[in-house]
Amino acid sequence: MSKLPEIDKNNTIKRYSDRLKLYGYSPKTLGWVKGKQDIRFDILISQYNFENKSLLDIGCGFGDLNKNLKKNYKNYTYLGIDLNDELIQIGKELYKEEHIRFESGDFLEKNFSEQFDYIIESGIFNHKLEGISNYDFIEAVIEKSLKICNDGIAFDFLSDKVDYTDGHTFHSSPEKILSIAYKFSRNIVLRNDYMPFEFSLFLFKDDSFSKENTVFQRYNILNNRI
C-alpha cells in the first residue's frame, strides 16, 4: 500500500475542514474533548527520551504535541505532517521555532529524505475507511514508520472494548493490534491504564536480547544492568 485511497483522503480533509469552520483552533476541530488531549499526548511521550532527538508526528493537526514536549525537553527537532493543509498553516503560525517544521501530505505517499528517532501518531486510526481495510492501513503505517525511524513508534487507538458504538468511528481490537505489532518486533508495550476505551502501542525497533539472561538489551541499558 503506497498511499491512502482518494476517497478516504478526501473524506479526512473535508471532516477537519468542516470542523475548523465550526470550532476554529480547538481540540474539538480534531475530534477531541477538551482536557483529554493532554492526557493522550503525555502518554504518547511517556516511553521515550526526546532530548536531542528527532520525531515525526503523523496526522499532527495543529502540532499541539509540542506543548507537552516543551514541558519536558529543551532540545528536540519536530516535523508534523497532516493531510489537511489548513491545519498545517495554523500550526506554522502557532509554532515558529526553528526546530519545529510542518508539511502537508499523505504519510504513506511521501518520500522522506531523513530518518527520525521516533514517530508518533494520535487519532489517524479512529475513523472507518471506505477504500481499504482499517487494519491494512494500520499495518502499512507501522511498516513504513519502522523503515524511517531509528528507535521506536508510539501510536494510539480507540478500543473495541466499549459499551457503545458509533457509525463513523473505528474501534481497534488490542489483540489484533498486538498481532500486527509482533510481525515487526518482540519489544512492545501496550498501555490501557489511562482511559478505559483507548489504548496506546509502543513498539521498539531494537528487540535484541541477552542470550545469557533473555532480557532485552534496551532494558539492560536503560536500567544500567550492563
Per-position pLDDT tens, the chain of length 226: 678 999 999 999 999 999 999 999 999 999 887 678 999 999 999 999 999 999 999 999 999 999 999 999 999 999 999 999 999 999 999 999 999 999 999 999 999 999 999 999 999 999 999 999 999 999 999 999 999 999 999 999 999 999 887 789 999 999 999 999 999 999 999 999 999 999 999 999 999 998 888 999 888 888 866 5
Tally the domains of the chain: 1
Q: What are phi and psi of 51, to 5 degrees?
A: -65, 125
CA-based nearest residue to 184, from 165, 161, 206: 206
Q: Which residue do the cell numbers 466499549 mark? A: 162
Q: Is residue 61 part of a domain?
A: yes
Is residue 25, in this structure, part of any structural domain at all?
yes
So what's the pLDDT on residue 163?
Answer: 86
Q: What angle in degrees, to the nearest 10, is found between the helix axes of 65-72 and 36-44?
A: 60
pLDDT of residue 212: 85
pLDDT given for residue 222 in this prediction: 80
Position 108 scores a pLDDT of: 97
How many CB atoms are closer than 10 A to CB 164?
7
| pLDDT at res. 144 | 98
**Is 47 contained in some domain?**
yes
Query: How far is it, in rounded angstroms, from Cα 162 to Cα 69?
Result: 30
User: Helix, strand, or coil here: 69?
Assistant: helix
Walk across the sheet containing 188-191 and list its strands. 100-104, 76-82, 53-58, 116-121, 149-158, 198-204, 188-191
Residue 1 within any structural domain of the chain:
no
CATH number at residue 131: 3.40.50.150
pLDDT at 97: 97
Residue 21 lies in a domain: yes
Range of the domain at 64: 6-222
**pLDDT for 76:** 98
Distance CA 116, CA 78 (A): 9
**Residue ranges of E strands in 10-169:** 53-58, 76-82, 100-104, 116-121, 149-158
Name the pTM for this structure. Answer: 0.95
